[in-house]
Structure 1
Amino acid sequence: MNSLVLAVIGVAMVLAGYVLYSKYLASRVYKLDPVRTTPAHAMQDGVDYVPTNKYVLWGHHFTSVAGAAPIVGPAVAVIWGWLPAFLWVTLGTVFFAGMHDLGALWASVRNRGQSIGALSGRYIGKRGRNLFLVVIFLLLLMVNATFATVIAGLLVDTPTAVIPAWGALVVALLIGQAIYRYQVSLPIVSVVGVVALYGLILLGDRFPIELPETVLGLSASAFWVVVLFLYAGVASTLPVWVLLQPRDYINGLQLFIALGILYVSVLIATPTMVAPAINDAVPDDAPSLVPLLFVTIACGAVSGFHGMVSSGTSSKQLAKETDGRFVGYFGAVGEGLLALGAIIATTAGFRTLADWEAVYTSFSAGGAGTFVQGGGAIVNSGLGLPESLSATILATTAVLFAATTMDTGVRLQRYVIQEAAELVGVRPGTVGATLIALATGVGLAFGAGADGSGGLTIWPLFGTTNQLLAGLTLSIIVIMLMRKRRPVLPVLLPLVFLLAMTVYALVVQLGGWYREGNWLLVVLDVIILIAALWVIVEAAAGMNRTRKAPPADDDAEDDALAAAQR
Structure 2
Amino acid sequence: MISFFICLALLIGGYFTYGSLVDRTFGPDDRETPAVKINDGVDYMVLPQWKLFMIQLLNIAGLGPIFGALSGALWGPVVFLWITFGTIFAGAVHDYFSGMLSERNEGASISEISGIYLGGTMKNVMRVFSVVLLIMVGTVFAVGPAGLIQLLFSNGGSTGILTNKLFWLVLILVYYFIATFLSIDKIIGKIYPVFGICLIIMAVGVAVGIFTKGYVIPEIWNNFTNMHPQGTPIWSFMFITVACGAISGFHATQSPLMARCMKSEKQGHFVFYGAMVSEGIIALVWAAAGCAIYTGADLLAMGGGGSTTVYDVCSKTMGGVGIALAMLGVIACPITSGDTAFRSARLVLADWFHIEQKSIKGRLMLCIPVLGIGAILGVGNALGKIDYTIIWRYFSWTNQTLAMIVLWAASMYLFYEKKNYWITAVPATFMSAVSITYFMLGNECLGQFLNHKTADGAVVYNTAVAYPVGIIAAALFLGIFLYSIKKRDVKPQYETLGK
Post-superposition shift, 1:302? Answer: 0.4
What is the root-mean-square deviation in Å for CA atoms of aligned residues?
3.4
1:325, distance to aligned residue in structure 2 (A): 0.4
Asked if residue 511 in structure 1 is aligned to residue 446 in structure 2, the reply is yes
Aligned ranges 1:379-398 → 2 under 5 Å: 379=318, 387-398=319-330
Matches within 5 A, 1:113-512: 113-158=107-152, 211-212=158-159, 215=161, 220-273=164-217, 277=223, 282=228, 284=230, 287-311=232-256, 313-350=257-294, 353=295, 357-361=297-301, 364-379=303-318, 387-421=319-353, 429-447=362-380, 450-451=383-384, 454-509=387-442, 510-512=445-447
Moved more, 475-484 or 145-154: 145-154
- CA shift for structure 1 position 73: 1.3
CA drift of 1:437 comes to 1.9
Between the aligned partners of 1:446 and 1:278, the Cα distance in structure 2 is 46
Which shifted more, 273-282 or 141-150?
273-282
Asked if the contact 1:221/1:452 (under 8 Å) is kept, the reply is no
Cα deviation, residue 138, structure 1: 3.0
**Structure 1 pair 84/152, CA: closer, same or farther in 2 (3 Å)?**
farther
Give the one of 60, 72, 90 matched to 1:96: 90
Counterparts in 2 of 1:245 and 1:269: CA distance versus 1, 3 Å = same
Given that 2:206 and 2:286 are in contact with CA atoms closer than 8 Å, whether structure 1 keeps it comes out as: no
Per the normalisation by structure 2, the TM-score is: 0.85
2:48 corresponds in structure 1 to 53
Contact kept in structure 2, 1:156 and 1:210, CA below 8 Å: no
**1:24 aligned to which of 13, 21, 25:** 21
CA distance in 1, matches of 2:82, 2:400: 13
1:84 pairs with 2:16: no
- The answer for the alignment partner of 2:11 in structure 1 is 14
Helix, strand or coil: the match of 2:393? helix
The separation in 2 between residues aligned to 1:367 and 1:233, in whole angstroms, is 27
Q: Which residue of 2 aligns with 1:40?
A: 35
Q: Could you tell me how far apart the structure 2 residues matched to 1:457 and 1:320 are?
A: 43
Gaps of 5+ in 2: 453-471
CA offsets, 1:258-304, max 9 Å, x none?
A: 222222223423412489946767455x7432111111111010011
Say whether the 8 Å CA contact 1:135–1:465 is kept in structure 2: no
Instruction: Tell me the distance in 2 between the aligned counterparts of 1:543 and 1:223.
Output: 54
Contact 1:304 1:473 in 2 (8 A): yes
Out of 390-399 and 487-496, give the one that drifted further: 390-399
Distance 1:453 1:20 in 2: 48
- Contact persistence 1:68–1:368 (CA under 8 A): no
Name the amino acid aligned to 1:112.
Answer: E
Identity of aligned residues (%): 25
Task: Tell me the CA shift for residue 460 of structure 1.
Answer: 1.5
Query: Does structure 2 retain, via aligned residues, the 8 Å contact 1:54–1:318?
Result: yes
The code of the aligned residue for 1:80 comes to: W
Amino acid at match of 2:437: Y
Cα distance, 1:222–1:451 mapped onto 2, change above 3 Å:
farther
In the TM superposition, what whole-angstrom CA distance separates every residue of 1:191-247 from its partner, at most 9, and x where no partner exists? Answer: xxxxxxxxxxxxxxxxx97653x639xx63443333222211111111111111121
The 3-state SS of whatever aligns with 1:47 is: coil
> 8 Å contact 1:98–1:332 — kept in the other structure?
yes
Distance in 2 separating the partners of 1:516 and 1:439: 39
Q: Distance in 2 between the 1:14 and 1:148 partners?
A: 32
Q: Per the alignment, do residues 553 and 320 of structure 1 end up closer, same or farther by CA in structure 2, a change over 3 Å counting?
A: farther
TM-score, scaled to structure 1: 0.75
- 1:58 positional shift: 0.6
CA offset at residue 74 of structure 1? Answer: 1.7
User: For the Cα contact (< 8 Å) 1:304–1:471, is it kept in 2?
Assistant: yes
Query: Secondary structure, in 3 states, of the residue corresponding to 1:120?
Result: helix
